[in-house]
Amino acid sequence: MRFSRLSTPTRLDCTGVAVYINRVMQDIFSSNPNEIPELHSAPVFYPHGSHLIWISENGEIAELDRTALSHKLGQKTVLLCHRRWSSARAGTDIARALDIMELFAFVRPARFCLPTPVGLASQLGLARPQSGDAMAALLPQIAFMLLDELAGAPPPARKEAGEIAAMMTAGGWTWGPIVLSHLGLAPQKPEPPDGRNAAIWNRLPEYTDYTPQIDPGTQPVLPDAARERLQDMLGHSAEMRESQSDYAAAIAASFDRPDAGPAPTLVLAEAGTGTGKTLGYLAPASLWAEKNGAAVWISTYTRTLQHQIAAELTRLYPNAETHAQKVVLRKGRENYLCLLNLEEALGTMPGQPRNATALGLMARWAGATSDGDLTGASFPAWLMDLLGRAQTVGLADRRGECVHAACAHYNKCFVEKSTRSAKRADIVVTNHALVMIHAAYASNDDRRRPTRYVFDEGHHVFDAADSAFSAYLSAGETAELRHWIRGAEDGRRGRARGLKRRLEDLIAGDDAAKADLEAALEFARDLPGQGWQKRLSAFQPMGPAEAFFMHVRNSLYARAADPESQYDLQSELHPASDDLLTSANEFADRLHHLLVPLNNLAKRLKALLDDKVDELDSAARARIEGAIRGLELRAAGPVNAWQLMLGDVRDGQRDGFVDWLQIDRIEGQDRDVGYARHWLDPTIPFTAEVLDGAHGVAITSATLQDYAQPKRSQAEKEAATKDSARDNTVAADGWASALALTGAAHLAHPTLRAAFSSPFDYANQTRIFVVNDVVRDRPSATAAAMAGLMQASGGGALGLFTAVRRLKAVHPDLLARLEAAGLPLYAQHIDKMNLQTLLQMFREEAESCLLGTDAVRDGIDVPGAALRMIVFDRMPWPRSDLLFQARAKWQGRDAWTERLARLKLRQAFGRLIRRDTDRGVFVMLDSRLPTRLTTAFPPDVEVQRVGLAEAIARTRDFLGE
């Protein structure tokens, strides 16, 4: 147990703290902390669209306006569903509430549920409520069912729940007295919450597998074997589609012998929606892993697809235990709950009692989850909305402060479990960013480096590489580095663990290493410290780093065409002002002084591994290796890049890179200021760090190719390619784009290419309308147009906006129109729910509609009738920032602009049809869609340019058939 510091406030004189806690609870319960709110007579509030439904203590149902509602909410503790969403719909903050989603999270931790009465009814086996009044009336019944379920749990479960509930009640949890009563426990005394009640890690199982990795075998997977494995996965009674079988055989080429030809064997495979590409590449991948005793890494761009791929593998591994051994999800450690962070946060509660509710619910979740994944299926994303980021996803190790084997929870750690499991897995399902970082920081002889990859969502490889291999020298980033090195400063308490705490016992007895550690701690003082934002705006910087960022800020404000813009400010770096040049030189000198001891520490830790090979056990070696990776990833790597960048302020633009100055803004408020550097072509480092170190790679997507001209017939293709060599310099049709954006163009040997058309009958399953008579600049016109189209589709419609401000302007009118038609509307940036929760609600309610930004198209997978219409408010042209302008100059402005726009249109259209029985309508409310960009759509679907009334009528006729 690591709660010794709790003894001071709880065992000694705590009168002042107890008085404070009592006051907190009186604020919540309006009387005394032992009073149990009367759930039977609690008023109920539920917003159904813009209808604000209120059920009084006497059971009378009424619809209130916002003024009357605000008055009632100020008087009573109200029963509701999702407080933040309800507050947003009510237009007022709801301070005192019994939020039924908190109760659900406590009673059924790590269980999926939509945060609506409909979702709760589904989970509890109740009939689906059909009206807003019925939804509101159902909430008390759901509450009592959950409480009865908790009371009927086995004794050990009730004991654990009671201990955590007692802690939460002491911190002011509104449900606390009710929960304790149903558990048969006495009311709480007015004292600080005791975090030891939530020490959930005491019963978590340990995971001590340190399976060493071995070199992979060299057995190939032949095309016929891939076809056979695919048939096994589908089931021998299922008919295998020829295109899917051919696709699996094509992917098998990336699983040939390492010496079969130049490495890596790179396969670019485009498989139209519905081909069945997930099973198509999993077939040869799983077969190769079994034959060669090593993992294949399957990489995606979105987390949603990661979980879908893992689910697909239940076909091959139906036994849950076998599946857990063979298939592992790998994400960055910032995605997993850190048990030490949870423990330390619980330890602060005597002084921060209001955190007890959030931390208690997180402890309940930690005890129920199998993977600790804060972005996975077991974590209700709406908890982050209810409890805030700091006490939910903020409990992950987001700063690289892990102490590895020195942590008391090391063998229970969710991150360690994932990492160790991946060493003996057959399939590791990960994401593009982690693959690139993993490869970049693995040494050439590191056995952790995979040799076989499949990149799904391959059209995003360019963007992922652009992010992974960029550098940002900003005040916020350097302040984070100071925090990482020095930990909490100036007497402030916090969970930050500085470099000294992480390393001091590892280097005990090494005086030189201790000296390097002290030097690093001292030179880190030159980085921005607490309060840097105020000092920069007041022109009172402390130290060379803050002086540099102050001059960056001054340059930006002097050069910006619109300094009052709501969006990020950017300007070219060169020519740099004299002040910026001088401060850059001084800052670079101080960074050099910091870099030397950090590099020395990494070298000394590597020497420790070599010098004590006969003394260090696996856990100790893992800890030292983790410390080395931390120094390279969090410190030495960025500092090296920053030094080069500062030198180029003086020396000029470096070839192959794009540099600029930037102020990051959120809703018009400055949040960070810095100097950005991106590769002009980020597939250069991707090729060097990932492709060149692999034996075989497949990059696949439904949208790899880009057609600037209408697609040719098969006869035309054959005539055009009859005498051409199949290499990287002669590209038929749309492959030029794929070669340029995947790194294939940087390989010295040919790339294998294969394309498989979608089996869907798009001509009969879809319609495409370009509406030519809607006034784009009038929000009410856009709202009326979308409402008419969405009513014609009967819901199931996704409205995509290219700007948040237009979404917000259209929303009120559209909400009123759809509500009158009985269609629910959800909206990103308006409803106080995260996007994943909104997508889940949209997916489950087939008649609902959803508004979001253009970026929503990448994260949505809604098969069936739940998505039958997509409406763009405007053409999704790419934003013309400095990086875009540089790449447009490199590739040709029209070609680059139109390529990105076509990709967005093609991706969005691909969301509509996911099954043979799906039908969908794609609508563009912008007559400026150029005909040349319609090559983004299937060639057999006519793009109809019509008026709004005709688009509505044709939509109603088509979807009503």
Q: Which residue type is seen at 779?
A: P
Alpha carbons within 13 angstroms on the beta-carbon side of residue 157 total: 12
| Strand-strand pairing, 265-271 and 696-701 | parallel
Helix (H) or strand (E) run with residue 574 in it: none
Amino acid 490: pLDDT: 65
Q: Length of the chain, please?
A: 961
Domain annotation for the chain: domains and CATH numbers: 4-198 (no CATH), 213-324+426-469+683-757 (3.40.50.300), 475-679 (no CATH), 762-960 (3.40.50.300)
Can you give the three-state secondary structure of 476-504, one letter per residue? HHHHHHHHHHHCCCCCCCCCCCCHHHHHC
**CB 913, CB 762: distance < 8 Å:** yes
pTM to 2 decimal places: 0.89
Nearest to 124 by CA among 146, 107, 103: 146
Residue 6: predicted pLDDT: 27
What does the pLDDT read at residue 407? 86
3-state secondary structure 672-687: EEEEEEEECCCHHHHH
**DSSP letters for 329-361:** E---GGGBB-HHHHHHHHHTTTT-GGGHHHHHH
β partners of residue 213: none
Count of CB atoms situated within 10 Å of the CB of 255: 28
- Residue at token pair 């857990």: 324
Output the six-digit token pair for 137. Answer: 């009336």
Edge to edge, what strands does the sheet with 943-946 contain?
Answer: 825-827, 849-853, 797-801, 869-872, 920-924, 766-771, 943-946
* Cα Rg of the chain, angstroms: 29
Q: Which residue has the tokens 């340019």?
A: 945
Residues in Cβ contact with 748 at an 8 Å cutoff, skipping those fewer than 6 apart: 262
Tokens of 460: 């995003």
CA distance 696 to 261: 10
Question: Which DSSP string corresponds to 414-447?
Answer: HHHHHHHHHHT-SEEEEEHHHHHHHHHTS-TT-T
> Quick one: CA torsion of 777, 782, 783, 785, rounded to 10 degrees?
160
Alpha-carbon distance values, 933 to 554, 638, 896 (Å) = 41, 40, 12
Joined together, the tokens standing for residue 775 give: 């006034």
CB 724 within 8 A of CB 732: yes
CA-wise closest residue to 310 among 248, 244, 373, 358: 373
CA distance 620 to 828: 46
CB 35 within 8 A of CB 126: no
- 449 CB neighbour count, 10 Å cutoff: 17
If the chain, 961 residues long, is cut into consecutive pieces of 10 residues, what is the mean pLDDT of each piece?
A: 27 34 40 59 90 92 91 90 92 91 97 93 94 94 96 95 95 94 87 92 85 82 96 86 95 95 95 93 97 95 90 94 94 93 91 93 96 92 92 88 84 91 93 90 62 96 95 95 87 68 86 94 94 94 96 94 88 94 96 94 90 80 83 86 95 94 89 97 96 96 85 50 40 78 95 94 96 93 97 95 93 93 92 88 89 78 85 93 94 91 92 91 95 92 96 95 64
What integer pLDDT is reported at residue 493 of this predicted model?
Answer: 55
| 567 Cα distance to chain centroid | 22
CA–CA gap between residue 193 and residue 350 (Å, rounded): 6
Mark residue 293 as left, alpha or beta (left: phi above 0; alpha: psi -120 to 50; beta: remaining). Answer: left
Classified as helix, coil or strand, 831 is coil
Q: Which residues neighbour 805 within 8 Å (Cβ) at sequence distance 6 or greater?
A: 566
Q: Residues 30, 33, 36, 41: what is their CA dihedral angle, to the nearest 10 degrees?
A: 10
Tokens of 332: 């960055």
Q: Report d(CA 13, CA 9) in Å as an integer.
A: 7
Structure tokens at 74: 């100020």
Q: Give 868-890 as a 3 state SS string.
A: CEEEECCCCCCCCCHHHHHHHHH
Alpha-carbon separation of residue 663 from 555, 582, 671, 870 (angstroms) = 11, 20, 7, 34
Contact 700, 455 (CB under 8 A): yes
Tell me which residue has tokens 């401060």: 583
3-state secondary structure 20-56: HHHHHHHHHHCCCCCCCCCHHHCCEEEEECCEEEEEC
The span from the CA of 94 to the CA of 82, in Å, is 11
Question: Inter-axis angle of helices 339-347 and 356-368, to 10 degrees?
Answer: 150
Provide CB contacts within 8 A for 521, sequence distance 6+: 485, 486, 498, 499, 500
Distance between CA atoms of 472 and 391, rounded to whole angstroms? 27
Partners of 267 in the β-ladder:
698, 752
Q: What is the pLDDT of residues 757-793, one digit of tens each?
A: 999 999 999 999 999 999 988 999 999 999 999 999 9
**Side-chain half-sphere of 732: how many Cα atoms within 13 Å?**
22
